[in-house]
Amino acid sequence: MAGTGLSGAAALAGVGATPLSRDSGVSTTALACRAILAALDDAGLGVGDVDGIATHRVGDSSPPWVVGPALGITDPAWHLDQFGGGGVSHAVIGQAALAVAAGVADVVVCYRAINARSEFRMGGQGRAPAGAFDLQYQAPYGLLAPVQHYAVPARAHMQAYGTTHEHLGAIAVRQRAHAAANPRALKRDPITLDDYLASPWISEPFRLLDCCLETDGACALVATSAERARDLRRPPVDIAAAAWAGGHSTYSPPAPGGLGDDLTTSSAARLAPRLYAMAGLGPDDVDVAELYDCFTWTVVVQLEDYGFCRKGEGGPFAASEALGIGGELPVNTHGGFLSEGYVHGINHVAEAVGQLRGDAGPRQVDGAEVALSTGQPGHILAGTSALLLTAGR
C-alpha cells in the first residue's frame, strides 16, 4: 500500500550523540554542538551544508539561535525552537521533514541537549515549567514531578484492567537486559524482578526502577530529502510517516463533551491511525518499536494505543517474551530511558535508525525493515508525536 502525505519525502541521513552521564561537566550548548558535529560526520556532511536547525526544550537547554552561530551556522533558512518535552520530541523531526518536503530547507539538524541530572532536574524546580499554566490546579497539592503525573493514570489502568506491579517490573528487567548489549547505556548490570520489587517507592504505583534515568547528554539527527540521502555516506532511513496528536493531559483537563477524559487511554490512540495510514503500514508491519518510556507504564499504554494488543491487555503483553530482541515485537532495544538514558525522546529515534541500518550489533533485530519510534504519549502538557521509519533501498 502506498503512503500519503509526507511519506517517503524525507530521510534521516546522520546520527550523532555525546556520551551519556550523570554530570557532563559542560554546557548544553557544548553538548548540542558535539552531537551535531558527530551527526554531520556520520552523514558525510559539514556545517556548510546545513540550512535548517531544530530543537525542543522546556527552558532547560540551549536554543538554535545560540547553537547555530556557535557552529558558524549564522543564516539558517529554517529553524524551530519548540516549547515542550517528550510529547514533541518526535514532532521536531516530523517538522524538519515538512520543511524538507516543502523545499524550505535541504539539510536540517535536529538536536536535544540536556543536563537533566546536573543542571535542570525535571520536576525538581518546585514549580511548573513556564507555559504550563494549568499546573495551577496541581502544584498547590504537591503534584509537581512527571513521576506523579504518570502515576495517576498508571494506577487507574491497574485498577481498570488488572495491570500488576509484576507487569511493570518485567519491563524494567527486560530493558536492563537489552542495555547490557549497549555500550552507550548508563545502566548495564542485570536486575531481577525481586530487585525491582525491592526498589523504593517514589510515587505509587511507581518505584525507583519504574523511572527513567536523569541524564546529561545530547543526540542529533540529520534530516534531508530521501533523494539526497541516497548520495550520502550511510544507508538512508526513510521517514515513512510522521504524525501528531493534540489532546488531553493531566495538566489540562478535557473540554466538556470532548475526548480524553479516560485516564487509561493516551493521545497515541488518536495519533496511531493517522501514522499508519500515512505510511500505508499497520502494527503487524512493525519489526521493532522504541516506545517512550519515561516510566514503565507508558510502554503498557502505548502497546495498546498503537494497536499491538487490545485495550487492557498491555500489561500481560508487556511482560511476555514478545518484547525481547528475538520476540515478535522487540521494544526498547537500547534499554530505553530506563537503562540507556534519557535524552527526552530523540535517542529512541537514534536507536531506530541504528536498527534499520543493521548497525545495532549484539542487540540487532534480524531483518528489521520498519521501526516505530514514539514520543511521550500525552497525559503531561498534552499531545504526542511519533515516526514510522523504514530501511531505505
d(CA 302, CA 372): 11
d(CA 196, CA 201): 10
Q: What's the closest the beta carbon of residue 157 comes to other proteins, in angstroms?
A: 9
Residues from 231 through 250 that contact other proteins (CB under 8 A): 250
Q: Which residue in the block uniquely carries the three cell numbers 488531553?
A: 248
Residue 383 binds to other proteins (criterion: CB under 8 A): no
Residue with Cβ nearer other proteins (224 or 250): 250
Does the active-site annotation cover 342? Answer: yes
One character per residue 139-168, x = contact with other proteins (rule: CB under 8 A): xxxxxxx--x--xxx-xx--xx--------
Q: What's the closest the beta carbon of residue 252 comes to other proteins, in angstroms?
A: 8
d(CA 274, CA 3): 11
One character per residue 188-227, x = contact with other proteins (rule: CB under 8 A): ------------xxxxxx----------------------
* Helices 296-305 and 146-161, axial angle in degrees (round to 10): 50
Given a contact cutoff of 8 angstroms between Cβ atoms, the answer to whether 129 and 59 are in contact is yes
Lateral strand order in the sheet of 384-391: 78-83, 52-57, 107-115, 216-225, 10-17, 237-245, 384-391, 370-374, 288-290
Residue 38: all three cell numbers together: 558527530
Residues from 84 through 123 that contact other proteins (CB under 8 A): 123
Q: In this structure, is the dihedral angle defined by the CA atoms of residues 156, 157, 161 and 162, taken in order, positive or negative?
A: negative
Catalytic residue among 150, 161, 292, 306: 292
Does the active-site annotation cover 251? Answer: no
| C-alpha atoms less than 13 angstroms from C-alpha of 39 in its C-beta half-sphere | 36
Residue with Cβ nearer other proteins (160 or 177): 160
Q: Which of 256, 326, 366, 393 binds other proteins (CB under 8 A)?
A: 256
Residue 265 binds to other proteins (criterion: CB under 8 A): no
Residue with Cβ nearer other proteins (106 or 134): 134
Q: Which range touches other proteins (CB under 8 A), out of 38-46, 132-140, 184-192, 276-284?
A: 132-140
| C-alpha atoms less than 13 angstroms from C-alpha of 162 in its C-beta half-sphere | 4
Q: What's the closest the beta carbon of residue 326 comes to other proteins, in angstroms?
A: 36
In this structure, are strands 52-57 and 78-83 parallel, antiparallel, or unpaired?
Answer: parallel
Q: Which of 263, 277, 328, 369 binds other proteins (CB under 8 A)?
A: 263
d(CA 119, CA 116): 6
Residues forming contacts to other proteins in the complex (CB under 8 A) are: 123-124, 126-128, 133-145, 148, 151-153, 155-156, 159-160, 200-205, 250, 252-258, 261, 263
Active site residue ranges: 292, 342
